Amino acid sequence: MVTQAGPPDPAGGPSTSRRRRRLRSRPAVRDLLDEALAGVAARPTRLILTTLGTVLGVAALVGTVGLGQTAAGQITQRFDLAAATRVVVQPDDKGGQEGEAATQLPWDAPDRIKRLNGVEAVGTVSNLEIGDDLVQNVTGLDNGAGKALQVMAGSAGLWDAVRATLQTGRFFDQGHDQRADKVVVLGKHAAERLGINRVDSQPAVFIGDEPYTVIGILESVSGRAELNDAVIMPNGAARTAYDLESPDAVEIRTAVGAAQLIAEQAPIAIEPNNPSTLRVDAPPKQGAVRKGVESDLNALFLLLGAVALLVGGLGIANVTLLSVLERTSEIGLRRALGAARRHIAVQFLVESVIVGFLGGLLGTAVGVILTVSVSWIRDWTPILDNRLAFGSPLLGAFIGLVAGTYPAWKASAIQPITALRGT
Amino acid sequence: MTATAVALPAPVVEMIGVRRFFEGPPEVRAINGVDLTIGQGEYLSIVGPSGSGKSTLLHLLGLLDNPTGGVYRLDGVDTMSLRERRRAVLRGERIGFVFQSFHLLDHRTVLENVALSMVYVGVPRRERLARARVALERVGLSHRMDFAPTTLSGGERQRVAIARALVAEPSLLLADEPTGNLDSANAEAILQVFDELHSEGMTLAVITHDAQVSRRAQRQVRIVDGTLQW
Ligand SMILES: Nc1ncnc2c1ncn2[C@@H]1O[C@H](COP(=O)(O)OP(=O)(O)OP(=O)(O)O)[C@@H](O)[C@H]1O
Ligand SMILES: [Mg+2]
């Protein structure tokens, strides 16, 4: 019920219709933002001090996650294919879990393993007890060194399983094994010790009094390094000459990523009744490697970052609350100028969000610089998730939002007459 | 004096039996049954001793505070039934305040301070600044627009506050001891601005305990112990 009528007077008694329209109008969002920005900009020193906690917290988080990602990237780059696909099964010295006696590996263990999906190659390997026998070349030289040479036995599949490569000659095969041929393959160092570097003339080595024909010399093996220092004969010969009862271990080469699965299945395949009597050595999960590296250092820094963020949030809340108390007269004035409670609340909330956002922005910059610097020093390739870089300032803003809620509510609850009283 | 008020067409302020008690203990009856009508274009002064309830009455007039009882119509709008949101809008639209201690924002320029009173009314930014310039010219401060309030004299600051109060074209200009912090020369300048505003048709209510100031008004009311005396 507006009772005003007649032409507007010079002092600005505006027309009824304009009054009506303006009564419904609201301050633009942009204006409230401007007011908040001006409020923040008015106290630059305070702004810096207020953001400090958030800067530290976000910097710690970004730095930690960034360095974690970078380090994880390095691990992947150095990812050792050979180690990650090697599974070794051998009898558990301590016997089974339920107290069964230690088992012997069956000779057909490779055949049983070969059936598993994900197995690329499999073979047995054993150390031979040769007693007082010496390993000598034809000339009978190298007596002293002969004692140190290990004699081993393997199946034909061993070579593929340990990724063996040859300097010269050939590996023994299933035929040699079955016929119990007296042939040997020399490890790289063993060949040097025995002074043998060619096999085309079919040189022989003596183990005890028995001659064995050298058919190949190894260049390299992976995993089972002792093969380099050994004289290796097929299982067939070992069973005949040295009564080898069972293989010492089964070497398995798996497809990439299948090692864990094979490690679970292999004992059951070999020893379905007592799988627990077998010990399995398998590479740790890829994820586990990465986690292991990250968790050591990162848990600490993430915790540190979280604490810094909490402190940062409390800092913002504290300073904003202080600022509210200090600015009661401003609050009273704004209310007198027509601000509703929520306008006051929004202003202080936005101020606090701006402070948090700036802290987050600065903290992200510091964290990125940290990551890049450390990477540069360690000669790493810095890896940083884009989402992290862009999300962190928002995290700061969110902290500002949470921190500013209570002070903003406090500010909006201040009675204008209280705020305007006195000074 | 009363006859003049009645002769005016439509009252800006209509207070009937307004009370404002502050809950105790002890209960303070700061305003205890005030009947007051202020017509359009009137220049009213409210005088009274300290603690008589002048500021409380002004807060009620300016919708900064709620009466404990009674009827208050501003521009014919019954304010008693309004929610706080609507009261805030009405306050921004129809009331201009001038305080004894100026209440300017130190970190904002003079121009921004004046323009601020149109923010919550929803006047667009460009228009705000233009109107603020006109208002500052009006109080003779066009040369101080980009200054910080802290660099101004007390008289200048109060003129900025007056510019801020009138720039949103209120129905009622309320002033609480506007000359209280000023020397006589500066006070005179302020009173001159009020005289001019009055002659242009602005409705003014000025609270003071200074007889000199009170005498400039067209009508004086006296308040003692929360009640008006004619
Ligand atoms: N919030 C409040 N709570 C309790 N009592 C109050 C409150 N505000 C004002 N009063 C009391 O109401 C009375 C009137 O106060 P008011 O401020 O209106 O006086 P005044 O006339 O403006 O005095 P002055 O000339 O000193 O400014 C005083 O007794 C004061 O103590
Ligand atoms: Mg007072």
The answer to whether the CB atoms of A43 and B92 lie below 8 A apart is no
The arithmetic mean of pLDDT across residues A8-13, rounded, is: 39
Residue B51 beta carbon below 6 angstroms from any ligand 1 atom? yes
For residue A38, which residues of chain B lie inside 8 Å, CB to CB? Answer: 107-108, 112
The CA–CA distances, whole Å, from A271 to A106, A120, A246, A275, B164 equal 9, 20, 14, 5, 94
Q: Which atom of ligand 1 is nearest to the CA of B207?
A: 22
Per-residue pLDDT tens for A333-346?
A: 999 999 999 999 99
Per-residue pLDDT tens for B91-116?
A: 999 999 999 889 999 999 999 999 99
What count of other Cβ atoms lies within 10 Å of the Cβ of residue A295?
12
Q: Which two tokens stand for residue A114?
A: 């070969």
Report cis status (omega within 30 of 0) of the bond before A27. Answer: no
Residue B53 CA, ligand 1 centroid: distance in Å: 5
Instruction: Flag whether residue B90 sits within 8 Å of chain A, measured between CB atoms.
Output: yes
The arithmetic mean of pLDDT across residues A54-80, rounded, is: 77
Residue A12 CA, ligand 2 centroid: distance in Å: 28
Q: Which domain holds residue B144?
A: 2-229
Report cis status (omega within 30 of 0) of the bond before B25. Answer: yes
Instruction: Flag whether residue B69 sits within 8 Å of chain A, measured between CB atoms.
Output: no
The answer to whether the CB atoms of A42 and B84 lie below 8 A apart is no
For residue B150, which residues of chain A lie inside 8 Å, CB to CB? Answer: none
Question: Tell me, what CATH number does B186's domain have?
Answer: 3.40.50.300
Per-residue pLDDT tens for A257-290?
A: 788 888 888 999 988 888 888 888 887 765 555 5
Residue B222 predicted with pLDDT over 80:
yes
What mean pLDDT value characterizes chain A?
82
Residue A105 predicted with pLDDT over 80:
yes
Least confident of A388-392, B2-6, B144-148: B2-6
Within 8 A by CB and 6+ apart from B168, the residues are A337, A338, B92, B93, B96, B117, B118, B121, B123
Per-residue pLDDT tens for A190-209?
A: 888 888 888 888 888 888 88
In percent, the amount of chain A with pLDDT more than 90 equals 35
Rg (CA), chain A: 39
Please name which of B158, B71, B88 lies closest in space to residue A334, comparing C-alpha atoms. B88
Tell me the pLDDT band of B156, cut-offs 50, 70 and 90. Answer: very high
pTM as predicted? 0.66
The answer to whether the CB atoms of A23 and B93 lie below 8 A apart is yes
* CA separation for the pair B66, A2 (Å, rounded): 21
The answer to whether the CB atoms of B197 and A28 lie below 8 A apart is no
Least confident of A209-213, A352-356, A379-383: A379-383
**Phi, psi (rounded to 5 degrees) for A184:** -140, 155
Task: Report H helices in chain B.
Answer: 2-7, 54-61, 84-94, 110-115, 125-138, 154-167, 184-199, 211-215
Contact predicate A86/A222, CB 8 Å: yes
- Quick one: pLDDT at residue B60? 95
Residue A81 predicted with pLDDT over 80:
no
Instruction: Flag whether residue B114 sits within 8 Å of chain A, measured between CB atoms.
Output: no
Alpha-carbon dihedral sign for residues A365, A368, A374, A377: negative
Per-residue pLDDT tens for A127-173?
A: 988 877 777 776 665 545 555 688 999 999 999 999 999 999 999 99
Q: Which atom of ligand 1 is nearest to the CA of A421?
A: 17
The answer to whether the CB atoms of A333 and B203 lie below 8 A apart is no
For residue B64, which residues of chain A lie inside 8 Å, CB to CB? Answer: 335-336, 416-417, 420
What mean pLDDT value characterizes chain B?
90
- Quick one: pLDDT at residue A352? 92
What's the structural domain count of chain B? 1
